[in-house]
Amino acid sequence: MRRGIRASDVEVLSLNVHSLLGAFNLQEGEVQRILASHGVMMEPGDVRSWFPLEAIIRSLEEIRVRIGTQTLRAIGHQVPRNTVLPPHIESFVTILPLLNDTYRMNHRGEGDIGGYHYQPLEKNSAWLRCDNPYPCEFDQGLLEAFHARFPPKSNAFRLRIEHGPEGCRATGAEACAYLLKW
C-alpha cells in the first residue's frame, strides 16, 4: 500500500468488491482466485459484508501485475453500478463534488484512506486530486463510468481525462491529479 495511507482497520463494502468480478462477468476465474489468495471470499449475492481494504488493494496490485492495467480500468468502470451513492445525483457535475462522500459511504473504520478532492474550473472542466490507495487506472475507469451513468447536461458525449504532471500513484507518488473536460 502507498506511503501515507494507513488503512489497516478500514473495510470496503462487499457491494463494491463485486466490481472486481463484474468487470468480467465472472463468478470463477483468475480475478476470483486472486481475491481468494488475499482472503476475500464472496458468496453469490453477498452485498452487505465488509472486507479489509488492504486485501482489496493487494488484490488490485496483483491484478495489475498478472492481468494488466486495462483490467484495472475495466474494474473501475464497474464501480458506479455497484456503489452506494448519496441522494439527488442528477448528472456528472453533481457527482463530482460528492465523490469523496461517496467514497466514505462505501468504506468504514479508522484510518487515513485519502480521498477525492474536487476543484471546479471553467465551464465543463475540473481538477480532481485522488490521494486514495486505489490504482490510477481504476480511478480513471471510475470517472469514465460516472460520466456515462450520469451524463452532463452539456453536449459532451465523452470525458477527457488528462493526467497532471505532478506524478502518479503507479510510480509511487502520493496522489494523481486529473484535469477533467466534458
User: pLDDT: is 171 or 46 the higher one?
Assistant: 171
- At a CB cut-off of 8 Å and minimum separation 6, what does 9 contact? 109, 110, 111
Q: What is the mean pLDDT of residues 77-105?
A: 91
Q: What is the pLDDT of residue 53?
A: 95
Task: Give the least confident one: 48-52, 86-90, 103-107.
Answer: 86-90
Distance CA 158, CA 81 (A): 18
CA-CA-CA-CA dihedral for 158, 164, 167, 170, to nearest 10: 0
Least confident segment among 9-23, 53-67, 104-118, 137-151: 9-23
| pTM higher than 0.85 | yes
Q: At what angle do helices 14-22 and 53-66 cross, to 10 degrees?
A: 10
The predicted pLDDT at position 25 comes to 59
83: nearest Cα among 11, 18, 9? 18
Say which residue the cell 458506479 belongs to.
80
pLDDT of 123 > 90? The answer is no
pLDDT band, very low/low/confident/very high, at 119 (cuts 50, 70, 90): very high
Superfamily of domain 1-182: H-NOX domain (3.90.1520.10)
- How does pLDDT run across 23-52, given as a tens digit for each residue? 665 445 888 899 999 999 887 777 789 999
pLDDT band at residue 164 under the 50/70/90 scheme: very high
